[in-house]
Each structure stands twice: as C-alpha cells, then as structure tokens.
A and B are shown apart, each in its own frame.
Chain A
C-alpha cells in the first residue's frame, strides 16, 4: 500500500507538486494522466525517492519513506521503475542487465540470478536475445528488457513513466501486453501514460494531474465517460 499525504515538491521557486494526497492499495493499477509539465514524472519519482518531496509524507507498507532516517536504497529495492527511454546498461548483455541488481544488491548467487533472469526474459518473450547487447534491440525489445530488469528485484510495486512514449507505433502493443500480464498477476502498478485506451482497459483508477495538482481521480469508466472537472474535460477533449 502507498499512502501519499499532502505531498508537495518545489524546484527552487517552481512549485511542481501541490498538496497531493491519495492512497494506492495493494494490487491496484493506477494510471496517472495529465498535460505535459503537470508534474506526473515528478510525482512518480517521489514515490521511489529519486526526488525528495519538499513537504508531506509518503508511507509504503507501513514505512514512512519520507522520514530522514530512511535508507533510500532499501526502499528502492522494493520498487521497480521503468523509464521512457529505457536506460538499459549499454555495456552489458540482456541477461547481465537483468541479473546485475539481484547479484549486486541482493548478493544473489550467479546461478540463482541467471535462473530468475532467464525465466523473466522468457516471460517478456526475448529468450533468443539473452546474449545480445542493448544496441542490437528494437525499442519495444529494450523496454521489455527494462521491465524484466526491474522485476528481477522482485519488487512489490512497479512504477512506469511513459513506457511507450519513445516507441514506434508498431511496438507499443508488445510492451503494453507485458504490462497487462503484470497487472493481471496482481502487481501494484503506477503508470504515467498517454495511452488512454490502455488506461481504460487495465487501470483500476485514474489520477488526473494538472499544474501540479491532483485535480480529479476516479474509476476509468466514469472518468473517461464523464469527467467531473472542466480541466479534465478540456484535457480529454484535446487528446481524444
């Protein structure tokens, strides 16, 4: 469970998040949508402390992660993150990318890490690419490896920041399919996305951010059919 309580974040004078509060339940899939620059990435990055909130608290499974005493590395072990631009390690093969963190961070033995890594790579459909370097992969393949890499740490929560925005259109589906499987398996997921159909289909709840504020949230059916706020109406009009 993730409990976000009155979280604000400023970069200098620039208030990017303003008093965000919401609770994400175990196993829930939450889509975060909103205009560019509204603070979606910053919100996501606060959840694994890539950004430190300026005010407010975030609680993950009873741990107050915004407390100053907390060990960020410990928190992050339990939260996977997938980036728009993949950020695979270019000097490591696909298998090495996936097994690096379990070996380094969890001190897992190579044989065990390889076993888990291979099964995850198979799960995202890339067994034939195990020994390839990232530069030999298409965008969709890279993103699937990035998902496998995050899953290799066996996290409770997965964060996705526009995972399909950098992909050619024909590769979007293969990545969304992997994410859908993950959602079906009961993973807690927070997904920043512009794929409204995916959000409709897979998300349990939609958060609409505008100008750093959580303007509206609701079930995808009702949110997309009948948004309550003018700002959400305007946003959906523009993109649909």
Chain B
C-alpha cells in the first residue's frame, strides 16, 4: 500500500476548503491511517516521548512509541538524550523488551547484535564465522548500520522527539503563547505520583478533538452541575497557536479570591449548599497565583498537559490501529509539595483519569462517534461553533481549536 501520499490512495475527501466540515471516513479508513503514520507521525512534528526524570541517570532508558513505531529514549554517558527506533537492523526484532531499564549497551536477543547508547551497531555475533568458516563478508562494515535515530529536545522536563529535520526547533514549533502556558504549569521540578493507561475504542483523532473541544465540557460532564459546583461557568478562553495545531484553553475561578469579606469561615459556611457528602474533594489552592483553575493544553499531534485545580497530568495519545487508541496519563506533583499538598493532589486525582468525575465520559464518547459513523459514506461533521476560523477567542463556547487541529493536520498530510 502506498504511504507517501503520491497518489489517490488514502486521500481525504474534504467537502470544503475551510475546516468546518470533517469527513467521517477520516476516522476509520485504513489507507488514511497508513498515510497519516508516514506523513504526520514520521513527519515534521515534535512528539512527547517521556519525562526527563524517567531517564535521569546514564544508561537509563524508556520504551515508548512515536505514532505506532516503537521507540527507545535513553540517557547516554555524557548526560545527553538519544532516541531511536526499537528495531534491530538485522531482522527487525525489538531490541528492548521491558518498559524501562538501565543499560551500558543494547543487545538484540535474537542474534546478539549489539548497539551502544547512541544506537550505533558495535558488534555482530560470529561476524568472522567459526574457525574462519562462515561469517560476514569483509565488505560488511559495522559503521554502516545503526538503529534509526530521532532528534530529541527537552523543554520543562518533557522530552520530545521527531523523525524529521523539517520540524525546526521545538519552541518555534510550539509557539510563544503556548510555550508560556506550558511554562506556567511546569514551572518547577515535578514528582511522578503515578500512571494510568486507558484504552479507547476510537481513532486517536477523536480523542484529540474531544480534548480541544471546550464546548462539550459543561454539557457532557455533569458532575459539577449535578453537585451545584458552578466552577466551570466562569470566564475563560481559548488560545490557538499560529500553526493551528497547538492550543490552550483556560477558565478562571469566579472572583471570590483575595477579597477580605470571603474569609475561610464564610467559604466553609457556603459549603453547606454542596450536595457532596465529603467536600474535601474540592479543596484546592491557587498555586499559580493567577486564578486560573483549569487549563488544558495540547501540542500537535498528540500531547496534552492538564491542570484541573491542583491536579496536574500529561497525557500521551497513541494510535493503536485505525480504530483504537491508548491514552497514557502521567500524574504529577512537585518536588516541593509537602505531605498535605500531595494528599490534596491525590484526592483531586478522583476528578481525572479513567474513573475521573469530570473525565470518564471522554473515554466513552469517542467510541460513540466511532460506532456512529459506520456507513457514513461522504457525510461530515459540522464544526461551526465560534465561526469558521481558528483564531484565539475570549470564550470557551467555540470550536476554534478543533478547526486549528484540522488545519495543521491537513497541511501535514498535504491535503
């Protein structure tokens, strides 16, 4: 199957020049999927692969994916970060089999071909044969072979990698407004509180649409409304990067902070109205000092940074075939958290993740679309909330960032 997009195979039938109509076959067409692996995931975009602290010491490595391609990230002897395809150059077997480890070199179990921490081939078992018989021809040179490398950059403790030199520099790729909002949250050393893995019965782009779509939050997630916790109905907006593909949406707590009349006893009295039997769930502090209590940030194609009150997490969205997706959450605190702060973050972790009060619906809704669009032919979704463009807006009742995603995706796919 051609994957270079050079002919019609895998071409998307866009009904309009703008991004207000997205054809449904984009979510279940295997040829689109194959072309997307080549053009987007192996194309000029930076993809989150791990946290720097997960590969902190020399030789520490982590197994991950870029698109569907298995990739290993490793810290070398000099403290630099390397990444390469987890695929032996000999027969294509996985070289690293565990999730994580520490190594001085990597050896493929199949035929003992061995690589250094940069992925360069260092030895081939029985290269000279046995007693001078067999083995490789003299023309075989180790230095002609290496595990296929990716370019690696680190920002705010996050590690990103790309297969394509055309991705440019990471901060330029993210853009200044989104970089500033990334730095806002990842402003000091983090501590990993744990991981979630969630498997979704939908194409990865449906999850990304869901994350970028701020319009659905108060409609699908009824937890806050049911418990009369009107926290999300406050001011906010959506910032979209120039390229369209990166975004940050935010909302601000209602202006009850810092006013002298709202001392802590008044706030506690107000809690009698909560229907929550244990309102400690929503204990929170304005730790960034700007009153923004929710910020969701994405970097094209598949990275999410979440701040929901004091619950901080990064999410890596991994395609698993055309109609399945793995969502990997790494939930964070900070190194300077005391015990009470860690407890607060763990209580708030009930809001997010596969069982999260305000996120569990997102695990299912992509599957509702995936099943809904079977047999849809050339039908397309209608994405007109907030107009047809993708400029930043001072409202969250908009689908601007969704249209921005499709603009970036179309450009990378050459559509």
Answer yes or no: do A and B interact. no
Q: Which residues of A contact B (CB under 8 A)?
A: none
